[in-house]
Chain A
Amino acid sequence: MTGDPLMARTPVCITGIGVVSGAGADVRATLQTFASGRPTPSNSLPFESTVACPTFQVSADLPILPPRYSNSRSLRLTMLAVQQAMESAGIAKFDPNVRVGICIGTTVACQLNNVPFYAAYRRDPDRPMDAVVDYLHANLARAVGDLLGTSGPRMTIVNACSSGTDAIGVAASWMRAGLCDVAIAGGADELSRVALAGFWSLGVMSQQPCAPFDRDRTGLNLGEGAGIIVLETAAHALLRGKTHQFELAGFGAACDAHHLTAPHPEGRGLGAAIAAALAQADIQPRQVAFINAHGTATPDNDRAEGKVISRIFGDGVPFLSTKGFTGHTLGAAGGIEAVFTLLGLREGWVPASAGFKNQADDVPLSPTRNRTEIRGEYALSTSLAFGGNNSVVLVRRVA
Chain B
Amino acid sequence: MITAPAPAEILGIGAITPLGRDLAVIAKNLAAKPPARGEMLRVADDLLSEPAIARSMRRADRFIRMAAIAALDAWNQAAPSCADIAREQIGLIVTSGLGPHCRGFKFLDGILDAGDSNALPTDFSHSVHGAAASYIAGLLDLRGPSLTATDFEIGFEQAVLLAQCWLQQGTCRRVLVGSVEELGEPMISMTKKLLAGKESIAPAEGAVFLMLAPSDVAGIATLDAATVPDKTDLLASEYPSIAPDAGATPQIAAARSTTFTPYFGHSASSSAMQLLGALLSIPVVDNATTFRTSCGKVAALHVSMT
Contact = CB atoms under 8 A, between A and B. Distances in A.
A110 B99 contact: yes
Nearest to A136: B234
Interface stretch (B142-150, B198-206, B248-256, B271-279): B142-150
A31 interface: no
Given A177-B5, A197-B117, A4 B169 contact: yes
B173 A137 contact: no
Contact of B116 (A8, A137, A197): A197
B149 A158 contact: yes
Q: From DSSP, what is the main secondary structure of chain B's interface residues?
A: mixed
B170 to A, nearest CB: 3
Nearest to A385: B130
Contacts of A202: 121, 124-125
Interface string B123-158: 011111111011101101111111111111000001
Contact of B107 (A153, A155, A198): A198
B215 interface: yes
B92 A255 contact: yes
Nearest to B186: A121
B34 interface: no
B235 interface: yes
A253 interface: yes
A277 B297 CA distance: 37
B42 interface: no
B143 A256 contact: yes
B214 A2 contact: yes
Contacts of B194: 129, 132-133
A254 interface: yes
B5 A179 contact: yes
B235 A201 contact: no
Given A136-B234, A157-B147, A177-B5, A386 B169 contact: no
Interface residues of B, number: 79
Contacts of B173: 2-3
Interface string A374-391: 000000000001111101
A257 B101 contact: no
For B116, B125, B162, the residue with the greatest tally of chain A CB atoms inside 10 Å of its CB is: B116
Interface in A232-277: 253-261, 268-269, 272
Interface string A108-146: 001111010011011001000100110011010110011
A337 interface: no
A118 B112 contact: yes
For A137, A194, A257, the residue with the greatest tally of chain B CB atoms inside 10 Å of its CB is: A257
Given A3-B168, A129-B194, A385-B130, A156 B149 contact: yes
A154 interface: yes
Nearest to B96: A158
B169 to A, nearest CB: 4
Interface string B214-232: 1110000000000111110
A151 B168 CA distance: 23
Given A113-B104, A151-B228, A160-B130, A121 B190 contact: yes
10 contacts: A2-B214, A3-B173, A4-B170, A111-B129, A156-B151, A179-B165, A253-B145, A258-B138, A387-B137, A391-B145
Interface of B: 2, 4-6, 87-88, 92, 99, 101, 104-105, 107-108, 110-112, 115-121, 124-131, 133-135, 137-138, 140-152, 158, 161-162, 164-173, 186-187, 189-191, 193-194, 214-216, 227-231, 234-235
Interface of A: 1-5, 7-8, 49-51, 99, 107, 110-113, 115, 118-119, 121-122, 125, 129, 132-133, 136-137, 139, 141-142, 145-146, 151-160, 166, 169-170, 173-174, 176-180, 193-194, 196-203, 253-261, 268-269, 272, 385-389, 391
Q: Which A-B residue pairs are the 8 nearest by beta carbons?
A: A3-B170, A387-B134, A198-B124, A253-B145, A255-B146, A158-B129, A177-B5, A8-B169
